Amino acid sequence: MTDWTAEFSFPFTGPLEDGRTVTHDVHVAGSGPPILIMQELPGIGPETLALAARLNAAGFTVYLPHLFGTFGKKTMVRNLVRLLCIRREFNVYARGRQSPVANWLRALVADISDREGGARVGAIGMCLTGSFALPLMAEDAVAGGVASQPSLPLRHASPPHMSPDEITATRAAMDAKGPGLAMRYAGDKICRPEHVSTLAEAFGPGLETEAYPGNGHALLTAHFNGDAYQRMEDYFRTRFGLT
């Protein structure tokens, strides 16, 4: 399952942390409860499109913002250069605070909810964007968040890539909505054990964690793990009241 074509796309303009605005295209397809997929660093390649197709087939609407790179291709070296070019949006070394793009994502989930008639949104973050999925749960518009191989901050895993105030607000949201979910491969050298243990310490019983056997990295895309995908799908079915 690799082919995925958006039914429609729209440019979304939202604020960064400093008040400046940025615009990215958001691609949409499917029907059912809405899920936001936040791309990982190699780009939106065939494996990410396959994930979108799987979620569509499972009965979800997918919103896929294109943050950087060539849509449909993975080009790691070029995307590292591009990431440096959009560093005003991402701070991959930040500890105790999120990257500026987090503000844009908060605005986006509110917009998606409006487009979906007030429905709550599911959020999936992967690698570079993994840690963004959980604090989004503090937003009224978000039903639940899955952090797949969350790998920020780079170099150090503690404190996490979010502020103490964001942690407090997210814990309160988890108490009200149900837990978030963080997943990784047990032998992953990029998303290290401490990346998830730091999140588990921050959120306590508000975060469920899973570690799958293997040395891969991208659980839901390049190193696809069927058990992890099913765990994620079941999680959202529960959050959306479909089970």
- Whether residue 160 is contained in a domain is answered as yes
Paired tokens of 116 = 């979906």
- Whether residue 120 is contained in a domain is answered as yes
Per-residue model confidence as pLDDT tens digits over 69-118: 778 776 655 555 555 555 678 888 889 899 999 999 999 999 999 999 99
Q: Residue 216: is its pLDDT beyond 80?
A: yes
Name the domain count of the chain. 1
- Whether residue 214 is contained in a domain is answered as yes
Q: Please report, for residues 175, 195, 196, 215, 238, the alpha-carbon distance to residue 203 in angstroms, rounded to integers and kept in the order given.
A: 10, 13, 11, 26, 19
- Whether residue 1 is contained in a domain is answered as no
Taking the whole predicted model, whether its pTM rises above 0.85 is answered as: yes
> Is-contact 229 54, C-beta < 8 A?
yes
Q: The CATH number of the domain where 57 resides is what?
A: 3.40.50.1820
> Is-contact 202 150, C-beta < 8 A?
no
Q: By percentage, how much of the chain surpasses pLDDT 90?
A: 79
- Integer Cα distance of 31 and 239 in angstroms: 17
Structural domain for 189, as ranges: 8-239
Paired tokens of 14 = 């939202």
Per-residue model confidence as pLDDT tens digits over 23-56: 999 999 999 999 999 998 777 999 999 999 999 9
Average pLDDT over residues 2-8: 87
Using alpha carbons only, give the angle 82, 84, 87 rounded to the nearest 5 degrees: 110
Average pLDDT over residues 127-137: 96
- Whether residue 2 is contained in a domain is answered as no
- Whether residue 3 is contained in a domain is answered as no
Using alpha carbons only, give the angle 110, 135, 206 rounded to the nearest 5 degrees: 120
Residue 83 has what pLDDT?
56
- Whether residue 101 is contained in a domain is answered as yes
Residue 19 has what pLDDT?
84
Check residues 139 and 90 and name the one with the higher pLDDT: 139
Q: Residue 134: is its pLDDT beyond 90?
A: yes
Per-residue model confidence as pLDDT tens digits over 151-172: 999 888 889 999 999 999 999 9
Average pLDDT over residues 173-194: 97
Q: Residue 2: is its pLDDT beyond 70?
A: no
Buried (b) or exposed (e) across 190-218, using 16+ Cβ within 10 A? ebeeebbebbeebbeebbbbbebeeebbb
Average pLDDT over residues 207-226: 97
- Whether residue 194 is contained in a domain is answered as yes
Going by pLDDT thresholds of 50, 70 and 90, the confidence category of residue 68 is confident
